[in-house]
Amino acid sequence: MQLMGDALTVLGSRLGLAWDPANHQAFLVRHGNHPGLPLQLHAGIDLGDRIITLPLAGEEQSFEFMDQEITATTMSLCGIDPTTGIHVKLTARIPFRPRDNFFSTVPVVYLELEVKRLPSSFRWTAQYDEIVKGKVFLGFSGKGFDFQVHPASGHLETTYNSVILRPYEEDDHRQAIRSNEEIIACKDHIAILSGEWDGACITAPFSLRKGRKGTTLALAWCVWDQPLLNVLGKRCPFKYTARFENVEQVVSWSIQHADDVRENSIKVDRIISNHTLGDTTSKLLAQTLHAWLMNTWWVVRDNGQDWFTVWEGNCYFHSTVDVEYTQGPFYLAFWPELLELELNEWPLFGKDGQRVLGARGEGTLFLSHDMGVFGDSTKQYYHHEMEVEESTNYILLAYTHWRRTGRDATIVQHAGFIRQLMDFIVRCDTTGNGIPDKGCANTVDDASPAIQYGSEQVYLGVKSLAAIQAGTQILRHVGVLELQAYDHFTQTALATIEEFGWLDDHYAVTLSRTMDGTVDPWTGEPQTGELLGWDAYHIYTPNGLSLLDMVGHQTGLRDGRLYRDMALASEKTLGRYGCRHTSYIDMQDKSIFVPGLASHSRKVGWISMNMLRDIAAAYRGLDLLHLTENYWSWQSTTNSQQLAMFFETFYGNSLSFYPRGVAVFGYLDAAAGFVYDAVRGTKSFAPIRGSLQVPILLFADWEKGTVPMVISSLEDRTIAYCVES
């Protein structure tokens, strides 16, 4: 594939390596802002008369031909010198095994540099039989870094300063979230697994005939940090410190388990890539996983509670509820235990519903956005509330986690909180039509007013309908009997959406046609006048359905209408890189520009929201999975020019390094039509294509490297399938 920026980071442990070949730069991922600390990574060959490197260290001469590979657990850069036929391959690798908390958080990144000589000529450059001699080298340099050999172990020590940001304790964040820098003095160890230190790099000589391999250089960069993440006022130790008391123990583990980590990569990467959805889907699965890993923090509170959070990319908010909702398909299909940790954290950040509804909100709670920013997980920092949306998101995540896993501990523990969220959502409908008209500002904060904060949104109406249905099942499970008010709300909401939300061939953006009664969440100013774009085509109707589809919950909305809505909205909004929010092009830019938080664009789109739509579409027989070609085109376009990782937004805004793209993991289940309800013990499949092969990741045995496969075929014009273990 083309050269592009990428990063590989250990889950929750704040150690990773990033590279930006377009700008001849590498980075060490640690505690501060993306992409990390600038680092020169020297990897290449010394032929005596020429030194050739991979493009990761300034203006050194690069290989004439270069290539790149990406898998779930690795990233690689390759280079070929046509004159000699020498081929080098640099691979970064992490110990990542889904659902294995210990193995996946060991704070070590491996680097290997292989050298070989091609067996024949490269293109039309002649190869001769003479032996090619030289040396291969691998090392680092960078401003502020010092690399020395540890006298006792013979391994490298590097010292440098890292930075973590701490937000100011202030209430007004409309213009920016101010912070101060905290300097962290780091002393990491780099185990030399293969090669000899020459004072600048590890090296090994080679003397190669055609088709022969040379020595592989290998390093293991190991860290161990003191508690850094501030959780509710106290700094908490990293998850891995329960098993490792110091960096020397991490080094020992890295040496003893280097082969195990390499073998694990083969198993995990093979499982995830073993599908027939195309190469771009494989690339997106790997790239979005890498972006998600780059944002993770995993620590342990002094009460023994694991605290897992995910930064919101270059916005740095901790576990933003709507972002984690979008990532719901990933958790439900891949690692549900991580979602459970977050579900036990968010209730600590509930807010009094009276803040929004006055006396009407008495006894209710809502979630507003995040649970911290930068190095603090202490409170919600985003400027404006997303009251209805985030409250529905929590309920839907809690419900689908319960149904997917069969574990009810979370919903039992937080049933009271869930009920208060439900009461808030219901009371945000002040007209009695089942569609909230208060607390309607949402996550789509770069869109037109109709999409972003319009009253009586169909998007939030569907989500509220779904959340109250789901919450009712949760309350019934824990023994609550008085549920009539919730049943009445959902029946009314369903009737209203179908009668007043349907506009001949699609669902409207809002039922309301004016801005009267709305407030711009950015300025706090009341709005009046015509609500332009209220009747446009948009991609958000099915947003609240994708997770429910994975567990087989039906809301009662008409699937025929949903199919037509998604098909036409996709057609009306599709651009070069995906579908934008709506077919309405907003020519009235009345929003404010807040660097690092939001900006307005006339026809912007978000790729992860496209992905959720694609998942819901596949469960209804509408195949939009080919749009991965468009999404990958945007990722490769941006990252081939600068390191941005998963770049969420196109045609405007600048949401980069985003974790949200892991929604693509839901494509595997959706393509198979895989529905699983562990509470009922039911499982079903309905493949969307007649020539399909996809793994069911939920039932993978990652340690053994096995996974059930859904394989479909066309038989008498009907899609048949089998499940092979």
H or E, element range at 669: helix 666-672
Whole-number Å distance between alpha carbons of 248 and 237 = 17
Does 150 share its domain with 18?
Answer: yes
Give residue 598's pLDDT.
61
Q: Is residue 215 part of a domain?
A: yes
Whole-number Å distance between alpha carbons of 556 and 534 = 24
pLDDT in tens, 30-44: 999 999 999 999 999
Q: Is residue 265 part of a domain?
A: no
Does 221 share its domain with 329?
Answer: no
Q: Is residue 536 part of a domain?
A: yes
Q: Is the peptide bond before 35 cis (omega within 30 degrees of 0)?
A: yes
| Alpha-carbon dihedral sign for residues 452, 454, 459, 460 | positive
pLDDT in tens, 582-613: 999 877 765 555 665 666 667 889 999 999 99
Does 250 share its domain with 315?
Answer: no
Mean pLDDT of 139-143: 95
Model confidence at 518, in pLDDT bands (50, 70, 90)?
confident
Chain mean position to CA 94: 17
Bridge-partner residues for 110, per DSSP? Answer: 93, 220
Q: At 690, phi and psi to the nearest 5?
A: -90, 0
Does 343 share its domain with 214?
Answer: no
Cα–Cα nearest to 135, from 45, 217, 201: 45
Does 505 share its domain with 580?
Answer: yes
Asked whether residue 396 carries a pLDDT value surpassing 80, the answer given is yes
Q: Do residues 711 and 724 touch, judged by C-beta distance below 8 A? A: yes
Give exposure, 105-133, as e/b (b: 16+ Cβ within 10 Å). bbbbbbbbbbbbbbeeebeeeebeeeebe
Q: Is residue 302 part of a domain?
A: no
Mean pLDDT of 426-443: 94
Least confident of 242-256, 492-506, 594-608, 657-671: 594-608
238, 255, 272 — which closes off a domain? Answer: 255
Q: What is the DSSP letter of 544?
A: G
Q: Do residues 674 and 699 touch, judged by C-beta distance below 8 A? A: no
Cα–Cα nearest to 111, from 43, 62, 169: 43
Reading the block at residue 425, the tokens are: 């959502």
How much is the pTM? 0.95
Q: Identify the CATH number of the domain in which residue 325 sits.
A: 1.50.10
Q: The domain containing residue 671 runs over which residues?
A: 311-713
pLDDT in tens, 50-100: 999 999 998 778 899 999 999 999 999 999 999 999 999 999 999 999 999
How many independent structural domains does the chain possess?
Answer: 2
Contacts of 529 (CB under 8 A, 6+ apart): 514, 515, 516
Strands 132-141 and 146-149: unpaired
Mean pLDDT of 683-695: 97
Least confident of 224-233, 318-327, 388-397, 524-533: 524-533
Asked whether residue 255 carries a pLDDT value surpassing 90, the answer given is yes
239, 255, 271 — which closes off a domain? Answer: 255
At 190 the three-state DSSP class reads strand
Least confident of 345-359, 543-557, 575-589: 575-589
Model confidence at 443, in pLDDT bands (50, 70, 90)?
confident
Does 236 share its domain with 325?
Answer: no
pLDDT in tens, 215-252: 999 999 999 999 999 999 999 999 999 999 999 999 99
Chain mean position to CA 103: 20
Q: Is residue 208 part of a domain?
A: yes
Whole-number Å distance between alpha carbons of 664 and 668 = 8
Does 244 share its domain with 347?
Answer: no
Whole-number Å distance between alpha carbons of 568 and 6 = 35
Give residue 655's pLDDT.
92
Give residue 592's pLDDT.
59
Bridge-partner residues for 592, per DSSP? Answer: none
H or E, element range at 408: none
Model confidence at 550, in pLDDT bands (50, 70, 90)?
very high
Does 155 share its domain with 249?
Answer: yes
Whole-number percent of the chain with pLDDT over 70: 97
Reading the block at residue 355, the tokens are: 């803040």
Q: Is residue 436 part of a domain?
A: yes
Does 243 share its domain with 339?
Answer: no
For the residues of 251-270, what is the DSSP string, one character each? HHHHHHTHHHHHHHHHHHHH
Single-letter residue type at 686: A
Give residue 339's pLDDT.
98
Q: Which parts of 74-161 fold into alpha helices (H)?
A: 101-105
Count Cβ atoms within 10 A of the Cβ of residue 171 and give its class: 0-12 exposed, 13-18 middle, 19 or more buried.
Answer: exposed
The 10 Å Cβ neighbour count of residue 722 is: 10
255, 270, 302 — which closes off a domain? Answer: 255
Reading the block at residue 445, the tokens are: 């904060």
Does 249 share its domain with 316?
Answer: no
pLDDT in tens, 450-478: 888 889 999 999 999 999 999 999 999 99
At 490 the three-state DSSP class reads helix
Mean pLDDT of 500-510: 96
Expressed in angstroms, the distance from the first to the final Cα of the chain is: 32
Does 208 share its domain with 319?
Answer: no
Q: Is residue 463 part of a domain?
A: yes
Give the CB-side neighbour count of residue 521, counting CA atoms within 13 A.
Answer: 28
Does 247 share its domain with 318?
Answer: no
Q: Is residue 283 part of a domain?
A: no
Q: Which parts of 531-606 fold into alpha helices (H)?
A: 546-551, 559-573
Give residue 378's pLDDT.
96
513: region left, alpha or beta (phi > 0 left; psi from -120 to 50 alpha): alpha
Q: Do residues 384 and 521 touch, judged by C-beta distance below 8 A? A: yes
